[in-house]
Each structure stands twice: as C-alpha cells, then as structure tokens.
C-alpha cells in the first residue's frame, strides 16, 4: 500500500508517494493523501511550490495498484468509475493549486503515474526514467485525463504515438518531446529540482497563482477570451493587491520585497 508522506521546508512542500514494494502504485488511499497534502498547501500561505516524487530509485508511480484494480473490474459501477471520477478531481485540483507543482520523476512512470505527471506544472526527470502511457497494452483506454492533457503538452502525433504504441520515453526524450523541462542523472536530480525552486522562493504567492492561472487558460479559451481574462485579473490585482507596488518600491529602495499573505483564491 502506498502512502503519501510530505515535509515542509524553506517554502516548499515535498511530497513522496511512498510504496516501494508496489512501485508506488495508486489506490484510494493515495488520493486521500494527495487531497490532504493539498489542504496543507491551501492553508499555508508561506508555501511557494510543491514537489511530488516516488519513494526509492525504481519508480515514480506505475499507476493503479493491481489488487485494487482487481476490485475495480469486479465492480465497475461501485468501485472503478467512482475512483476514476475522484482521480479526475484530484488531478484538476493539482492543476488549480496556487503554487507551481513540480514532478520529480525518479524512475518508472506509466498509466496513472503518467497521468499524474501530466497534471503537474513542471517536470524534472532522471536520465534513467522510463515514462509511458501503456493503457493499450492492457486493453483499456486512459481514464484519468491523459487523452486530453497529452495532446496539449506533446502535440497530436507524439501524444498518439505514446498512447497507441508501447513506447517508453527516457529523461532526455521527455525533454525533447516537451513532457519534461529538464533532465539530469538520477544522482543529480535533486540539484536540478533545486535550481527551479530557487526561482520561486521568496516570490509573491499571489503573483504565482495569477500567472499559473493565466498560462493555463489557453487550454480552454480562445485567444480573445484569454486576453480578456488577463486584463480582468490584472485590473483586479492592481486594485486589490499591494504586491506589485511593493515589488517596485523594494527594487527602487534596493531591499528585499515583503509580500503579503492574503487570500489567493481569486487568482487560482
């Protein structure tokens, strides 16, 4: 059984899918853990990022737990479909968190593990990682969002190649295909993640939330709709949030900015 464990330090929540005996497989308990982790993120205004990884060196997550999957096929209406409905909700909540979520892909990821990666904002992968969709290998279509997220991130043909054939991507290929931002040998993976975290620590949480929402908007909006949203949120931000004026003043006065910790829900 996989548990979700996390620690908070230096404005970052580090979450671990901890079930190395099942290669960090996913079951209802994992969704409970991810929901609880996100409650912490929502309640703690000091946080500026989340990092999600798998325990050990072998796997990020191999997807649904096989024992639980047997229960799913034994009761599709009572178990399988409600689980997938909830999985959808958890992944959407990850996408809508007010801080960037980084997937630290340390090893094998497939099916539900692949779908979890797709919901993260940024991906840093070990050279040794192996990532694939592989639903078709088991005679089942994807059920937690990869059919919609993969084309948006990879483009139509690469998404189809990954989802219709038993193809695996290593870290460098993930970067080449646009699935990962950066790759490094597994021994240097934490240092690569840290380079990203250095860029968000100390930033305005409200600005992070607003930028994340705006950059995600084109997935469901036309250009005109997205531009209208940007103008609307910028106007709201300038009127309601002092962080922009504080950033300018701190720059002129050559001092660190002091950001407020007000509610970010309007921008997330």
Each residue's pLDDT tens digit, 168-188 = 999 999 999 999 999 999 999
Go through 180-216 and write b for each residue having 16 or more CB atoms within 10 A of its CB, e for each that does not: bbbbbeeeebbebbeebbeebeebbbbbbbbebbbee
Residues 191 and 220 in one domain: no
Judge contact between 130 and 169, C-beta under 8 A.
Answer: yes
Which is higher by pLDDT, 163 or 17?
17
Instruction: Answer whether residue 158 shows pLDDT above 60.
Output: yes
> What is the percent of the chain with per-residue pLDDT over 90, rounded to a whole number?
58
Strand blocks (E) in 38-129: 49-54, 59-61, 101-105, 108-110, 122-126
What is the predicted pLDDT for the residue at 145? 83
> Would the pLDDT of 191 be above 70?
yes
Residue 227 has pLDDT above 60, yes or no: yes
Same domain, 196 and 213: no
Average pLDDT over every residue of 50-78: 91
Whole-structure pTM value: 0.86
Whether the pLDDT of residue 268 is over 60: the answer is no
**HSE-CB of 87 using CA atoms within 13 angstroms:** 24
Considering the domain architecture, whether residues 132 and 66 belong to the same structural domain is answered as yes
The pLDDT value given to residue 263: 62
d(CA 119, CA 34): 13
Instruction: Specify if 263 maps to a domain.
Output: no
Instruction: Return the structure tokens found at 89.
Output: 């909700």
Of 133 and 229, more confident: 133
Alpha-carbon distance of 63 to 60, in angstroms, equals 9
Is the pLDDT score of 246 beyond 70? yes
Torsion sign (Cα): 211, 216, 220, 223: positive
Sheet containing 122-126, strands listed edge to edge, beginning at the edge strand earlier in sequence: 3-9, 12-18, 49-54, 101-105, 122-126, 182-184
Both 115 and 185 in one domain: the answer is yes
Q: Evaluate whether residue 259 is within a structural domain.
A: no
Instruction: Say what percent of the chain tops pLDDT 70.
Output: 94
Query: Which pLDDT does position 261 carry in this prediction?
Result: 66
User: For tokens 């001092």, what's the residue?
Assistant: 255
**Is 248 found in the same domain as 139?**
no
Residues 131 and 96 reside in one and the same domain: yes
Q: Say what the pLDDT of residue 221 is.
A: 72
CB 15 within 8 A of CB 53: yes
Let me know if residue 193 belongs to a domain: yes
- pLDDT, tens digit, for every residue of 6-17? 999 999 999 999
Instruction: Assign 4 to helix, strand or coil.
Output: strand
Q: Is residue 151 part of a domain?
A: yes
Q: Domain range spanning residue 143?
A: 3-200
Q: Count Cβ neighbours within 10 Å for each residue of 88-109 and write b for 16 or more, e otherwise.
A: eebbebbbebbbbbbbbbbbbb
Is pLDDT at 234 greater than 70 in this prediction? Answer: no
- Residues with Cβ within 8 Å of 225's Cβ and at least 6 positions away in sequence, in order, are 217
Domain boundary among 181, 200, 219: 200
Q: Is 191 a member of any domain? A: yes
Question: Alpha-carbon distance 115 to 127, whole Å?
Answer: 20
Q: How far is CA 79 from CA 27, 30, 83, 231, in A?
A: 11, 15, 6, 44
In angstroms and rounded to an integer, the radius of gyration of the C-alpha atoms of the chain is 19
**261 is a domain residue:** no
Same domain as 242, residue 145: no
Q: How many domains does the chain have?
A: 2
Dihedral angle of Cα 104, 111, 134, 162, to the nearest 10 degrees: -50
- Residues 154 and 124 occupy one common structural domain: yes
Q: What is the per-residue pLDDT for 256?
A: 85
Instruction: Please tell me the predicted confidence (pLDDT) of residue 250.
Output: 83
Residue 262: the pLDDT is 58
- Whole-angstrom distance, CA of residue 134 vs CA of residue 137: 5
């Amino acid at each position: 059984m996989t548990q979700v464990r996390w620690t908070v330090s230096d404005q970052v929540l580090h979450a671990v899918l901890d079930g190395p005996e099942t290669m960090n497989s996913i079951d209802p308990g994992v969704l409970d853990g991810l929901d609880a982790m996100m409650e912490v993120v929502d309640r703690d205004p000091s946080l500026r990022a989340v990092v999600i990884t798998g325990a050990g060196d072998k796997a990020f997550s191999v997807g649904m737990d096989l024992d639980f999957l047997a229960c799913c096929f034994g009761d599709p209406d009572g178990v399988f479909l409600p689980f997938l409905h909830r999985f959808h909700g958890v992944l959407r909540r990850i996408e809508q968190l007010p801080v960037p979520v980084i997937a630290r892909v340390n090893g094998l990821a497939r099916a539900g593990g692949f779908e979890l990666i797709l919901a993260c904002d940024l991906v840093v992968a070990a050279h040794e990682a192996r990532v694939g969709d592989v639903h078709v290998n088991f005679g089942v279509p994807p059920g937690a969002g990869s059919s919609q997220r993969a084309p948006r991130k990879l483009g139509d043909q690469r998404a189809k190649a990954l989802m219709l054939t038993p193809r695996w991507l290593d870290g460098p290929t993930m970067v080449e295909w646009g699935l990962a931002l950066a790759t490094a040998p597994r021994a240097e993976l934490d240092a690569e993640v840290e380079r990203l975290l250095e860029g968000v620590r100390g930033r305005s949480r409200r600005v992070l939330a607003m930028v994340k929402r705006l950059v995600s908007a084109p997935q469901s909006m036309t250009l005109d709709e997205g531009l209208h949203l940007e103008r609307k949120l910028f106007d709201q931000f300038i009127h309601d949030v002092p962080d922009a004026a504080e950033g300018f003043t701190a720059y002129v006065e050559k001092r660190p900015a002091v950001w407020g910790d007000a509610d970010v829900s309007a921008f997330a």
